[in-house]
Amino acid sequence: GQQVMQIPQYQHVQEGEDFTTYCNSSTTLSNIQWYKQRPGGHPVFLIQLVKSGEVKKQKRLTFQFGEAKKNSSLHITATQTTDVGTYFCAAYSSASKIIFGSGTRLSIRP
């Protein structure tokens, strides 16, 4: 079945450094979604990408969808302590079933 691979599993950065997490699929995706989960919290939807090569920005966060629609990335510029959490990508494998990547846990040294 369809799998969504996400790397790295963990990332520990100094506050102010950049952070990137990558999501890869062996099959073409119709869309991809990104979620953030704070420690002890629940996943919260961030954004959805649909078009080939699409780039969207939310303040310091930049989301990209690959040209072949098989990969995606989330880049955070100049991390802050509020960025701590686990970031998940997710893609629909069929009409209603969503597959989540295993997540990238971001921790930050103040």
Partner 1 sequence: DAGITQSPRHKVTETGTPVTLRCHQTENHRYMYWYRQDPGHGLRLIHYSYGVKDTDKGEVSDGYSVSRSKTEDFLLTLESATSSQTSVYFCAISGGGDQPQHFGDGTRLSIL
- Distance CA(47)–CA(32), nearest Å, equals 8
Round to whole Å and give the CA distance between 105 and 86: 4
Contact 105, 86 (CB under 8 A): yes
CB count within 10 Å of CB 65 equals 23
Residue 27 identity (one-letter amino acid): T
Q: Which of 70, 100 has the CB closer to partner 1?
A: 100
Q: Report the amino acid identity of residue 19.
A: F
- 85 sits near partner 1 (criterion: CB under 8 A): no
Tell me, by CB under 8 A, how many residues bind partner 1.
24
The only residue of 31, 62, 73, 107 in contact with partner 1, by rule CB under 8 A: 31
- Amino acid identity, residue 29? L
Minimal distance in Å, beta carbon 14 to partner 1?
25
The only residue of 18, 28, 38, 44 in contact with partner 1, by rule CB under 8 A: 44
Task: Work out whether 24 is an interface residue with partner 1 (CB under 8 A).
Answer: no
Residue 101 interacts with partner 1 (CB under 8 A)? Answer: yes
Q: Using CB under 8 A as the criterion, which residues of the chain lie in contact with partner 1 when the complex forms?
A: 1, 6, 9, 30-31, 33, 41-45, 48, 88, 90, 92, 95-103
